[in-house]
Amino acid sequence: MEEKHREILQLLEENARIPVETLAKMVDLPVAEIEAIIKKLEEKKVIVGYSTVIDWSKIVETETVTATIDVKVTPKRGVGFDDVAERIYRFPEVRALYLMSGAYDLSVVIEGKTMNEVARFVSDKLSTIDSVISTTTHFQLKKYKHDGVVFSDGEGDHRIVITP
Amino acid sequence: MTQKTKSSLRTSNLVNSIQPSGIRKFFDLASSMENIISLGVGEPDFITPWGVREACISSLERGYTSYTANAGMIELRIEIANYMKKQFQLEYDPKEQIIVTVGASEALDIALRSIVDPGDEVIVVEPTFVSYAPLVTLAGGNPVSVGTTAETNFRLTPRQLKEAITDRTKAIMLSFPNNPTGSTMSLNELKEIAKIVEEHDLIVLSDEIYAEMTYDGKHASIANIDEMKDRTVIISGFSKAFAMTGWRLGFVTGPSDIISAMLKIHQYSMMCASTMAQHAALEALQTGMEDVKKMVQSYKQRRNYFVKSFEEIGLPCHVPGGAFYAFPSIKNTGFTSEEFAEKLLLAERVAVVPGHVFGAGGEGHIRCSYATSLENLKEAVARIDRFLVSFR
């Protein structure tokens, strides 16, 4: 059963909109059972949410800028990095936040409408947090691949139509 | 003398005696049409894993462009030996029992040419890959076709085999998991076959190119049966498991005497398999097994989807245990498989391969490859459904 759960999760991770009927056929379980499994995985927060991968650069009016910011912080006694992390991820501008090993501590992904907006966020909100020692901002120039999805149009099927 | 008569005299009687592949006609028709969904492709829909492609590029950058040993790079043969041991519990000596070939196709050809004397009979278990019987003929032998049926899930029965054996029978060609039926044979079923093979002192040419694509249980090779290993030549390769069809890289493992005979033909006709492809194959065996696992899981999911969808639209189909083909019966439509395939192509623009091109037992069935996207499969099933309803 564990194996079936993993299979369902992998298929959903690839395409969250796959119909349950299709899933049921693919993993060879009844539809009702698939629905029950998904519900359970949602309740257990194994499935945390469903989102869509969008190439916003193709929608001119909604073009955004994204930056990754390396943040060095002083961890606090008792709560370590969690406390400062929480202070940062509560901002809706923060799209992602990771604790890192290496030269800095937190990797913050910020999305804004303009470079100015992102810059202001860094100077006004992020750097002013007590534990933050320093920030280094890297603006993304082009998205080639995101969450396993390549953003360019593929080359299509090169195979000839009928082969033995 | 007209040009035509002259040219027919110029080619040998042997080659004149074989027919071009029946798949050709269909290919020409399908190629002339646009917007078709093809279930006719006998190869993976995956591209060779990037790591493998990258290893080939790197070998070119480093200048590995010369010949290799006739039997293939020894490093590659050692990896093949390790692979066969790990995946199928079969041990072969990389120095004497393995040849890297130009696809499994070359391996089939040189295996037959190594064992067949003029007039020898070779039993070809059909439906099967289109090249077997012509290759037997070209090797100077007589192909004896045995047609398996849907009633036995396209498995060879001991009785069918016994009935086909004569004093001239030299060998039997098996191919499980099978193209086009997707059938597999279990170790117990193979044991029944093995008894007869031993009794009549036959050689087995076992084409196991689809071995990795075994979905219900584990692949069994007839060579896994102790007495069989010394009389079995296993033909395999990288095309299907590693999605490397265009690289033309296969291999063969078997008893030293037959392998050394094969090597003689291979060294005179091929010299060696492509060096850059061999470098890619080495990488595939060393780091590509995770990719194989993912691809196999995806085929299995699509198989499940496809066969259940056929069930829903009332197209009778046995559950194929391997490869990436379904072989549903179209007998109750009253059409021959060729008529059915042609009408389906023209009416609904879905390309399938009529079963009769795969030999005895194939008539009344169509081969549908599910090595295509889920969206294509969905659309193809909807179109086939519409087609079936249109003349019911």
How many Å from the N-terminal Cα to the C-terminal Cα in chain B?
54
**Look-up: residue for tokens 């966020």?**
A121
Residues B340 and B208 in one domain: no
**Annotated domain spans of chain A:** 2-43, 56-143
Q: Which of B298, B292, B244, B289 is CA-nearest to residue B100?
A: B244
Instruction: Determine contact, residues B328/B286, Cβ cutoff 8 Å.
Output: no
**Fold annotation for A2-43:** Arc Repressor Mutant, subunit A (1.10.10)
**What is the spatial distance between Cα B32 and Cα A132, in angstroms, rounded to a whole number?**
66
Banded pLDDT at A156 (limits 50, 70, 90): confident
Q: How far is B45 from chain A (nearest CA, A)?
A: 8
CB atoms within 10 A of CB B87: 16
Domain of residue B33, CATH code: 3.90.1150.10
Which of B288, B316, B331 is where one domain is finished? B288
Residues B29 and B135 in one domain: no
Residues B111 and B146 in one domain: yes
A88 CB-near residues (< 8 Å, 6+ apart): A71, A94, A97, A106, A108, A126, A129
| Mean pLDDT along residues B43-54 | 97
Mean pLDDT of chain B: 96
Three-class HEC string of A1-26: CHHHHHHHHHHHHHCCCCCHHHHHHH
Contacts of residue A157 in chain B, CB cutoff 8 Å? 45, 372
Helix axes B275-287, B50-61, angle to 10 degrees: 140
**Fold annotation for A56-143:** Alpha-Beta Plaits (3.30.70)
pLDDT at residue B89 greater than cutoff 90: yes
Contacts of residue A34 in chain B, CB cutoff 8 Å? none
For the ranges A17-31, B11-25, B205-219, B231-245, the lowest mean pLDDT is seen at: B11-25
Residues B241 and B307 in one domain: no
Helix axes A31-43, A2-14, angle to 10 degrees: 80
pTM: 0.93
Write down the pLDDT at residue B23. 86
Count of pairs with CB atoms under 8 A, one residue in A, one in B: 59
Mutate to test the interface with A, among B25, B33, B34, B41 (most CBs of A within 10 A): B41
Residue A3 in contact with partner chain B when CB distance is under 8 A? no
Residues B267 and B178 in one domain: yes
Residues B215 and B342 in one domain: no
Q: Range of B148's domain? A: 50-288
Contacts of residue A27 in chain B, CB cutoff 8 Å? 301, 304
Residues B231 and B364 in one domain: no
**What is the spatial distance between Cα B352 and Cα A79, in angstroms, rounded to a whole number?**
63
Residues B157 and B13 in one domain: no
Residues B369, B371, B374: CA angle, nearest 5 degrees: 105
**What is the spatial distance between Cα A16 and Cα A105, in angstroms, rounded to a whole number?**
32
Q: Which of A7, A26, A162 sits opposite B40 (nearest CB)?
A: A162
A149 CB-near residues (< 8 Å, 6+ apart): A53
Which of B268, B288, B308 is where one domain is finished? B288
Cβ <8 Å between B40 and A161: yes
Residues B72 and B186 in one domain: yes
Contacts of residue B36 in chain A, CB cutoff 8 Å? 161
Q: How far is A68 from chain B (nearest CA, A)?
A: 28
Residues B67 and B154 in one domain: yes
Banded pLDDT at B391 (limits 50, 70, 90): confident
Write down the pLDDT at residue B1. 43
| Mean pLDDT along residues B124-138 | 97
Q: Which of A26, A157, A160 sits opposite B304 (nearest CB)?
A: A26
Burial class (CB in 10 A: 0-12, 13-18, 19+), B153: middle
Residues B187 and B270 in one domain: yes
Q: Which of B384, B383, B352, B376 is CA-nearest to residue B365?
A: B352
Which of B261, B288, B315 is where one domain is finished? B288
pLDDT at residue A63 greater than cutoff 90: no
**What is the spatial distance between Cα B121 and Cα B40, in angstroms, rounded to a whole number?**
31
DSSP-H helix ranges across B89-186: 103-115, 132-138, 158-164
ipTM of the modeled complex:
0.86
Write down the pLDDT at residue A62. 75
- The upper half-sphere exposure of residue A46, i.e. CA atoms within 13 Å in the direction of its Cβ, equals 14
Rg (CA), chain A: 21
Instruction: Determine contact, residues A73/A132, Cβ cutoff 8 Å.
Output: yes
Instruction: Determine contact, residues B71/B263, Cβ cutoff 8 Å.
Output: yes
Residues B24 and B60 in one domain: no
For the ranges A141-150, B79-88, B267-276, B354-363, the lowest mean pLDDT is seen at: A141-150
Count of domains for chain B:
2
Residue B351 in contact with partner chain A when CB distance is under 8 A? yes
Contacts of residue A30 in chain B, CB cutoff 8 Å? none
DSSP-H helix ranges across A71-159: 82-89, 115-120
Taken in order B71, B73, B75, B79, the sign of the CA dihedral is: negative
Write down the pLDDT at residue B2. 44
Beta sheet of B353-354, edge-to-edge order: B325-326, B366-369, B353-354
Q: How far is B382 from chain A (nearest CA, A)?
A: 14
Residue pLDDT, tens place only, B195-243? 999 999 999 999 999 999 999 999 999 999 999 999 999 999 999 999 9
Mutate to test the interface with A, among B23, B25, B29, B38 (most CBs of A within 10 A): B38
Higher pLDDT, A56 or A30: A30
- Which pair of structure tokens corresponds to residue A79? 């709560």
How much of chain B exceeds pLDDT 70, in percent?
Answer: 98
Banded pLDDT at B25 (limits 50, 70, 90): confident
Residue B302 in contact with partner chain A when CB distance is under 8 A? yes
A75 CB-near residues (< 8 Å, 6+ apart): A81, A84, A105, A131
| Mean pLDDT along residues A102-119 | 95
Q: Which amino acid is at B384?
A: I
In B29-68, the residues whose Cβ lies within 8 Å of chain A are 30-31, 36, 38, 40-43, 45
Contacts of residue B372 in chain A, CB cutoff 8 Å? 157
